[in-house]
Amino acid sequence: MLIGYARVSTDDQNLDLQIDALKAAGCEKLFTDEGVSGAAVFKPQLEAALAYARRDQDIVVVWRLDRLGRSVRDLIEVGARFSDMGLGFRSLKESMIDTTTASGRLFYHMLGAFAQFERDVMLERTEAGIKSAKAKGVRFGRPPTLSDAQWNIARELLDNDPPRTVSDIATLLNVSRQAIYRRLERDRSQVDAASSHQSV
């Protein structure tokens, strides 16, 4: 059986395009999430679809890959989960993504290899940045606050696609997660204050 999954990020977006495409593709059962971001770890109706699906029998179908996640890493993790559950996976827009075929499985494995390469390169760049900062006298302890140089590195990693987790960044910089969260909150407060001042 083909099981369709559709998602929109906000309640005012329309699911009709996705639903029509999934029905036209032969999906007999549909699950839809409304107002759920692609970055959300938990997607209620996707979980319901996976609970409904039968091992070694059913195929999960989406209109487009970004309905499942925003980054290659997200997609690889979801695809691995489908595989562990014995479920096929197919994307209508990216027709080469069909894990029920040999070529589709090969392409998905290639995506995984590229994602791992991206993570390795990111780690190498981070380590090089840390070495450079140390050579300039930056101290990497666990201070109560981040130095500007450490924050610049942390912010770059947070802005990457896919972003590094706060835990990963704290480990790389040898600082506490709380220090990163405090700096994020401080910057956010400064932006809000600037916006309020401009609106006055």
Q: Which CATH number fits the domain that encloses residue 48?
A: 3.40.50.1390
114 in a structural domain:
no
pLDDT at position 6, please? 95
44 in a structural domain:
yes
115 in a structural domain:
no
9 is catalytic: yes
107 in a structural domain:
no
81 lies in the same domain as 146: no
52 lies in the same domain as 125: no
What is the domain extent for residue 69? Answer: 2-100
Cβ(77)–Cβ(111) below 8 Å? no
Domain limit, last residue, from 70, 100, 130: 100
| Residues 157-174: tens digit of each pLDDT | 887 766 778 888 888 888
37 lies in the same domain as 73: yes
133 in a structural domain:
yes
Environment class of residue 150 by beta-carbon count within 10 Å: exposed (0-12), middle (13-18) or buried (19+)? buried
pTM score, whole prediction = 0.54
pLDDT for 81 beyond 80: yes
Domain limit, last residue, from 47, 70, 100: 100
Q: Considering 9, 71, 83, 176, which one is annotated as catalytic?
A: 9
Q: Which token pair is 45? A: 């109706």
30 in a structural domain:
yes
Q: What is the mean pLDDT of the chain?
A: 81
Say which residues have a Cβ less than 8 Å from residue 32's Cβ, sequence separation at least 6: 5, 6, 7, 15, 18, 19, 45
pLDDT (average), residues 110-119: 65
